[in-house]
Amino acid sequence: MKKSTVLLLATVAVLFAAPAAFAAGGGEHNPIASASVVVAAVLGLGIAAFGCGNAMGRAISGALEATARNPGAYQRLFPSMLIGLALIESLVIYTFIVVLILLFANPL
């Protein structure tokens, strides 16, 4: 799928889930709002994991190509690649923390 199609579908999903989540009353239990928060959290985590996997694959591919072209550059490329992979992975970790906060703040 094209990037614009995926972005459009994600935007539509968030736009449909957000009003139900924010419409929850003060003390009453709203099952639709709780379900919307769960769906939005799972979709967000899935999108973050997909993006992370894609970015990590591209980073490793680029590093391996550079190493294949110039084996002497391996000593300089490897630490930079590891730092980049750690920063990419932090996206999913941050998203996972936000998902846990959303799920525990809005129990079913």
Encode burial over 23-41: b for 16+ CB neighbours within 10 A, e otherwise.
ebeeeeeeeebbebbbebb
Whether residue 86 is predicted with pLDDT greater than 70 in this model: the reply is yes
Q: What pLDDT, in 10s, does the model give residues 19-53? A: 666 665 555 666 666 777 778 888 888 888 999 99
Q: What is the mean pLDDT of residues 94-102?
A: 87
CA distance 40 to 98: 11
Q: What is the mean pLDDT of residues 1-19?
A: 71
Domain residue ranges of the chain, discontinuous segments joined by + = 3-105
Closest CA to 36 of 22, 50, 48: 22
- What is the gyration radius of the CA atoms in the chain, in angstroms? 19
Tokens, residue 20: 């139900």
Q: Specify the pLDDT at position 11.
A: 74
Mean pLDDT of the chain: 81
Q: Specify the pLDDT at position 3.
A: 77
Closest CA to 11 of 42, 36, 44, 38: 44
Of the ranges 11-20, 58-67, 99-108, which one carries the lowest mean pLDDT score?
Answer: 11-20
CATH architecture of 3-105: Up-down Bundle (1.20)
Tokens, residue 73: 């550059």
Hey, what's the torsion of the CAs at 46, 51, 106, 39, to 10 degrees? -40
